[in-house]
Structure 1
């Protein structure tokens, strides 16, 4: 991991702490008004979604281009599976063998793009009760929004385009969301985590007891 990526993660963590501090107070007030006590699960769920969102946005958009930074020679990549060609080029350039395929920077970047969207798929399955197709569409839409934002220099707020609009990113991000849905489905099937539907009866019972007191 490069120093720039570490810095981006640090900014993402700071952003999460700031946003969560803002969200936490009204959430606590709502909980005590409804249940009369602290309910830990919704707090942790909110924190997990916010942490993922902040860290993802930080990794995708940071660092911003510094004054005088060199502009990209290419801002659009529309050839599917170009990353495979790039891996072979990287192997030849550095005199590596095919056994080093998985250690190349290009492969690691593609793998990171997949892993980046796995949590989104897990959230879509467990928290939002979406099916595989719906989750795949959510992953594609989120990735497309990110790529368009990068292509437009953060909708004109950046001095120039500093990230490439890459069709391979769309594919790997969408794959990651789909794999996340499968992981979420397995977690539910193995009863490692409860589904949102399983939590509803307990919530309804707590509300009923509170009303009858």
Structure 2
């Protein structure tokens, strides 16, 4: 049993890091397709990823040393089908005419190993049928493909890391894994009765997608502020060095120009959508629905970054100056009070709008702008959701 628990424990340790890496792409895909986040969809997708990670570790772990593998002299592959069945018949105590031997035979390795290869891919077939809505023939083909990937991983010596295979490439494993996937696909409709259907998940998410949630905006903000602005900043610095011009002050090359390009210039020419907003299907418009213009965008971003963001940074810097470093001058105190007051008002505004779930923060109110979803929801989706809720 420890041979199976060890790889699963490794998967448990690795999974949080993989989940963190996949979080942004997952959220972008969800918001782009459906417009709303669903906890049940997240559970299904992430459990599927964890299953695949565990299955992969089960077929490659434990890893021997390269020196030990170099000394192996055994066969590299078995291309004769049903050798596992022959091995079970000839090496176990199983006797068809003696029921007392049946249970004992199930405890022997000649049964446990093939049985494990079937069980390994049963969840794969279930996920394919339940969430990905694949037909039984497609499940058979995809289960065979997954098994072939596992076997080739072993045959290649972990993609060339080892001088030769450290596990046997076995055609019986292909048969057993494919059978397991088929079993999972066939049994899926029985278990699906107790779970929300994929159509229900999609319909509810798309119906809620007409509303722009805070999480949806934060995903767009992360892409624009953390990723795109950083890339633009590096490009500006590179361009200025390439042209031999004097180096820009850091606050211009790192903040002002990148933010101006990403949050003002880009959406002006892209119907009120930054790159992040385009990916999650939202855009900025005036409160009456008309397109937002350059000056209104400039005012909006000046309030957000020039006033709110700068005040938070200023309050933090002067707090360090006055309290931590001990530079308790009247100027530092006045600056701390000024930036601190603005920061408190900004934070209170964000807390209030988040608590009330209006999400129309002060910079949108003052600039007369709002954010709307660009996701198109069909009448069928709305009807499907209404019927499901009755």
TM-score normalized by structure 1? 0.84
8 Å CA contact 1:90, 1:104 repeated in 2: no
Where does 1:31-180 land on structure 2 (aligned, <5 Å)?
34-35=35-36, 39-69=38-68, 70-91=71-92, 98-99=101-102, 100-180=104-184
8 Å CA contact 2:41, 2:201 repeated in 1: no
Count matched residues. Answer: 203
Aligned equivalents of 2:30 and 2:178: distance in 1?
A: 35
Cα deviation digits, residues 63-89 of structure 1 (max 9, x gap): 112244251511111121111221233
8 Å CA contact 1:72, 1:162 repeated in 2: no
Aligned partner (choices 194, 197, 222) of residue 195 of structure 1: 197
Q: SS of the residue aligned with 2:92?
A: helix
Gaps of 5+ in 2: 94-99, 213-371, 374-390
Q: C-alpha displacement at 1:187, in angstroms?
A: 2.1
TM-score normalized by structure 2? 0.48
Q: C-alpha displacement at 1:25, in angstroms?
A: 5.1
Q: C-alpha displacement at 1:193, in angstroms?
A: 1.2
Root-mean-square deviation (CA), in Å?
2.4
CA, structure 1 residues 187+165, in 2 after alignment: closer, same or farther (shift >3 Å)?
A: same
CA, structure 1 residues 85+30, in 2 after alignment: closer, same or farther (shift >3 Å)?
A: closer
Greater length-normalized contact order (CA 8 Å, ≥ 6 residues apart):
1
CA, structure 1 residues 14+116, in 2 after alignment: closer, same or farther (shift >3 Å)?
A: same
Aligned equivalents of 1:19 and 1:207: distance in 2?
A: 27
Gaps of 5+ in 1: none
8 Å CA contact 1:64, 1:158 repeated in 2: no
